Amino acid sequence: MRTIALVILLGFLAALLGSPAASCQEKKDLKYVGVKTCGMCHKTGKQGKQLDRWKDTKHAAAYKSLLTDKADQVAKEKGSEKPAAESPECLKCHVTAYGVDAKMVDKSFDSKNGVQCEACHGPGSAYKSMAIMKDKAKAIAAGLKAFKDEKAIEEFCKTCHNEESPTYKEFKFADMWAKIKHPVPKK
């Protein structure tokens, strides 16, 4: 299982490093800032109330789901000697920024907030300012991960929503995407 996780992680990193934002990311000390920082701007109606949308998803409760007896039982059945909330096999998908260098985590970041904005959009320290976020090209150049289409989003989702998960059920991307997509409303 660790080999598969490593392959998935390396694939994700390769995708990031192959993106136009990667050269910018290599030049900066990007940090994960957390949902509270992102949510400061993404809570308004003008932004589509994206923070509220996230709060209503299973992503928001992903870490908390590991704190249950059922999760510990699943982890034990899969060979983990640790509780689910301490098991790398569980944390890699239930916590944003799990396993990254501590230098990449801002003091504002709380891993207990589960699968947060930056799990998909990348570390936000360089693109979090309003001046940058108002210009999508600037935000992408500063490290915002943007997906070219829904197929790319689906492939990214499958880095966690796959058969490696001990609780995997068929992943119906269209249904799941409808529950979590969070576009900025058109003006």
pLDDT, averaged per 10 consecutive residues of the chain (187 residues), comes to 38 39 53 97 94 96 98 96 96 97 96 97 97 96 95 97 93 96 89
The structure's pTM equals: 0.82
Cα–Cα dist 143/72, whole Å: 36
Q: What is the pLDDT of residue 148?
A: 94
Q: Which CATH number fits domain 2-180: 3.30.1490, 1.20.120, 1.10.1130, 2.60.40?
A: 1.10.1130
Structure tokens belonging to residue 58: 């299973």
Q: What is the pLDDT of residue 61?
A: 98
Structure tokens belonging to residue 66: 């590991």
Q: What is the pLDDT of residue 34?
A: 98
Structure tokens belonging to residue 110: 């709380």
Cα–Cα dist 66/12, whole Å: 23
